[in-house]
Each structure stands twice: as structure tokens, then as C-alpha cells.
Homo-oligomer: A and B are copies of this chain.
Amino acid sequence: MSIREEVVNQAKKAQSASRDLANLSAQKKNEALLRIATELEDSTAEILKINAEDMEKGRENNLSKALLDRLKLTEERINKMAQGLREIVQLEDPIGEIPRSWKLPNSLQVGRIRVPLGVVGIIYEARPNVTIDVAGLCLKAGNAVILRGGSNAFNSNQKLTEIISSSLKAVGLPENSVQLIQTTAREAVDVLLGLDDYLDVLIPRGGEGLINKGVRDSTVPAIQTGVGNCHVFVDSSADQQMALDIVDNAKTSRPAVCNAAESLLVHKEIASEFLPQLEELFADRVELRGCEATLDIIPDINEARPEDWGKEYLDYIMSVKIVDSLEEALNHIYNYGSMHSEAIITSDYNNANQFLEEVDAAAVYVNASTRFTDGGQFGLGAETGISTQKLHARGPMGLKELTTTKYIIRGKGQIRE
């Protein structure tokens, strides 16, 4: 079979499985999730052995330390995956909810009922735990899923999906509900992007290149995730200690993730007082790249180049710009932001409101760290990614974002006049 035939074949099986999954009881779905959790734990030794092979190959291929860390599984990490599944069991089943139902003047009873999307495609990179998280969420929402994991984690992902399939089979669910693309060839991604006859949505997770490719080349409706060029704007009325704490947290608590701040905007009225404190705070920990006015105040840092304003560093680097006003900050964010997470630090009521109203992003903060943009933090449970687009889903995508609705209409013979 060619790669195309193989992938199309999997997509057909997924579509067939999705019909069976659509009307399963929550009880049955939870039984499957619990079974997967147990089998994961029971297979710890095997999983670790196979993951060690991926790690070995990764070292041979000179993967960075950071990538190797993301690839690595440990007993603790496997337990955490199982725990994640048990948390999904606790989430309310979104399927079958009727958010609204009403009667028309002609007595037709019209309602919207929540139903699964159908078949979800996910393209992701090194972390094998995504395999379990995403499969769990998709199953709970009644969807079949096709996974395309990173090539470095292929064997680990293979083992994990085997465990899922055998668990599903054991409790009587279609084993093709969760399938991993069986080749690491790039062609498989291209094939997947064109399968609008079989896939209902595609979620590319990972680097900017992958996401853009997914969104631009896909004929399957795709959801843009994760690129975060997030700003913190320190207004003239800001509590400066609060601002330092928040900037530190937003930049350094986990710089490689999409909700980390990349750029700092400082109101000119407090810049000469605030920036030296920031320089001291970051010292050797964070490289600052400043605009001209910033360099006038803290001349020892690097100069920001024009391309710095649009960059998602994902590293211990932060660009710094002094702005004349809230309006200039808003315009800068409008021009360079990626519509992910944006924060203002202020004590001014009107400025707080204006920032909340006018910033067009998935999450807009007053006096809090951008790092909270996360399904778990928001109390939504696990997530399949953070949408930075406006259609269908915006911000952390939980169970509900893996569903759609349909109208159901109950009549007694009504016809339209």
C-alpha cells in the first residue's frame, strides 16, 4: 500500500468508528478511559523500555536536551497520564446536553443538542503524553481520532496507542477509535491535510511552521493553536512590585510555552524608575532587548531589532519598548500580538477596562500573569491545545470544543406555509 492509501484507509476506519462512538453512554466511555489508565500503569515496564529506545535514537540524532526531556517517560510521568485519564472520567459528558429548546408558534419543538464532531486529526511533536491526553479527551467527547506524532517519539506513541486499542477492544469499543499514523514520512501529513471527506477537524500542535502549514494548506477545517507572542504592559499607575512579580512569572516560570510573555511595554512616565529594577531582577537570567528609549535608561542591554517585536522567543529573552500612552501600547499589541494572551498592570479603572475591551486576544488580563492561559488553570480540565483563532474555539480547548450541535425538531405533521 502507498502512504496515501494507508492514511486514507485509517481515515475510513476512523469514520466508521466515529459512528459507533457518537451515541455511547457516558458510562461506557468512562469504563474505557479507566481501562486504559489501568493498562497504562500495568504496562509501565514495557513502555519505559520502548521509550528508552526512542531516547537512545534521539541522542544518536543529537536532539537538544530540551527535546530529549520532552520525549522522556518515567514511571511518574506514566502515572500522571493515567491520572489525567481518571480526571477526564470525572468531567461531565458534554454529549446530549440540550443548551436550548423552544416551541415555535406552530408548536414545532426545536432544540439544539450537543453531539461529537466526528473524526479529529491531531498533528503534534515530541511529547508522548499528548497521545494519551488527546485520545482521552476525544473519546470522552465521542470522537474518533487520528494521531500524527513526532518521528522521535514514534515507538513510544506506537506502544501507547496499542495499549489504548487493546483496552478499547476489551470493553467492547471500536479499536479503531484511536489510530496512530503508521509512518514517520512527511508525506503522511500532506495526505492528512487533504482528507476533508473523512476528517471533521484538524488540530496542529507544535511549532509555528507546522501550525501555519496545517492552517493554510489544509482542506480539513483546522484550528490554529498556540503561537504566543504575549505582552505585559506596565501602565504608569502600576504597582511596580506587582509588575516585577508578574513580569518575572510571565517570562521565567516556563519560557518555552506559548503563554509565556515575550515582550514588555512600559509607560514612559515610570520607565526610568521601573526599568533599572527590572534589569536588576533579571540580571543574568533573562536577556533584555530594548528600544532606543529603553537603552537611554538601561544602556547595558542589547538593542531590539525591528524583527524582535514579532518574535516568539520561547527562551530567556524579552523585548522591551517604552510607550507614550495606553493607546500606543494597544496599537503595538494590535500590530505584533498573536492574539494569545495579553496583560496590563495598572491601578487605573478606566485603563483596565479599556485594555479588556480593546485587546483582541484569546485571553486578556488585568494584574495577573499571562501564564494562567491553560485549560487546567481555568478550571476546564485537560485541553487539546490553545486556539488563537476566532472561529469555533478560542483559548484553551477542552471537551466542549471537541463537540458541535445539531438542531432536532419534533413535529406532528407541520408543513411550512
Q: How many chain A residues have a CB neighbour from B under 8 Å?
A: 66
Identify the A interface with B (CB < 8 A). Answer: 19, 22-23, 102, 104, 108, 110, 115, 117-118, 196, 200-201, 215-216, 219, 221, 223, 239, 242, 245-246, 248-250, 253, 334, 352, 356-358, 360-369, 371-373, 377-379, 389-392, 394-395, 404-416
A363 and B407 contacting across the interface, CB-CB below 8 Å: yes
A253 and B416 contacting across the interface, CB-CB below 8 Å: yes
B415 and A395 contacting across the interface, CB-CB below 8 Å: no
A215 / chain B contacts, CB cutoff of 8 Å: 196, 219
B395 and A364 contacting across the interface, CB-CB below 8 Å: no
Closest approach, in angstroms, between the C-beta of A119 and any C-beta of chain B? 10
A239 / chain B contacts, CB cutoff of 8 Å: 413
B413 and A405 contacting across the interface, CB-CB below 8 Å: no
A406 / chain B contacts, CB cutoff of 8 Å: 360-364, 394-395
Identify 29 residue pairs between A and B in the complex whose beta-carbon atoms are under 8 Å apart, listed by A's number: A22-B360, A23-B358, A102-B379, A117-B390, A118-B390, A196-B215, A200-B391, A215-B219, A221-B390, A221-B391, A239-B413, A245-B415, A249-B415, A356-B408, A363-B406, A363-B407, A363-B408, A364-B408, A365-B411, A366-B409, A366-B410, A366-B411, A367-B412, A367-B414, A373-B407, A390-B404, A391-B404, A394-B404, A394-B406
Closest approach, in angstroms, between the C-beta of A354 and any C-beta of chain B? 9
Q: Which of B104, B362, B392, B413 contacts A392 (CB 8 A)?
A: B392
Cα-based distance from A253 to B405 in the complex (angstroms): 27
Cα-based distance from A368 to B414 in the complex (angstroms): 5
- Given known pairs A23-B358, A219-B215, A413-B239, the reply for A108 and B372 (CB within 8 Å) is yes
Number of copies: 2
Cα-based distance from A389 to B390 in the complex (angstroms): 16
- Given known pairs A362-B406, A406-B394, the reply for A246 and B102 (CB within 8 Å) is no
B253 and A371 contacting across the interface, CB-CB below 8 Å: no
B110 and A409 contacting across the interface, CB-CB below 8 Å: no
Max count, chain B CB within 10 A of own CB: residue among A221, A246, A379:
A221
Closest to A107 in B: B368
Closest approach, in angstroms, between the C-beta of A91 and any C-beta of chain B? 15
A369 / chain B contacts, CB cutoff of 8 Å: 414-416
A221 and B219 contacting across the interface, CB-CB below 8 Å: no
B360 and A115 contacting across the interface, CB-CB below 8 Å: yes
A368 and B413 contacting across the interface, CB-CB below 8 Å: yes
B363 and A246 contacting across the interface, CB-CB below 8 Å: no
Q: Which of B253, B334, B390, B404 contacts A415 (CB 8 A)?
A: B253
A334 / chain B contacts, CB cutoff of 8 Å: 19
A368 and B108 contacting across the interface, CB-CB below 8 Å: yes
A242 / chain B contacts, CB cutoff of 8 Å: 413
Max count, chain B CB within 10 A of own CB: residue among A110, A115, A249, A334:
A110
Cα-based distance from A325 to B23 in the complex (angstroms): 20
Q: Which 3 A-B pairs have the closest CB atoms?
A: A368-B411, A249-B415, A392-B392
Max count, chain B CB within 10 A of own CB: residue among A253, A394, A406:
A406
Cα-based distance from A242 to B413 in the complex (angstroms): 6
Cα-based distance from A410 to B250 in the complex (angstroms): 16
A367 / chain B contacts, CB cutoff of 8 Å: 410-414
Q: Which of B372, B378, B390, B408 contacts A200 (CB 8 A)?
A: B390
Closest to A413 in B: B242
B365 and A409 contacting across the interface, CB-CB below 8 Å: yes
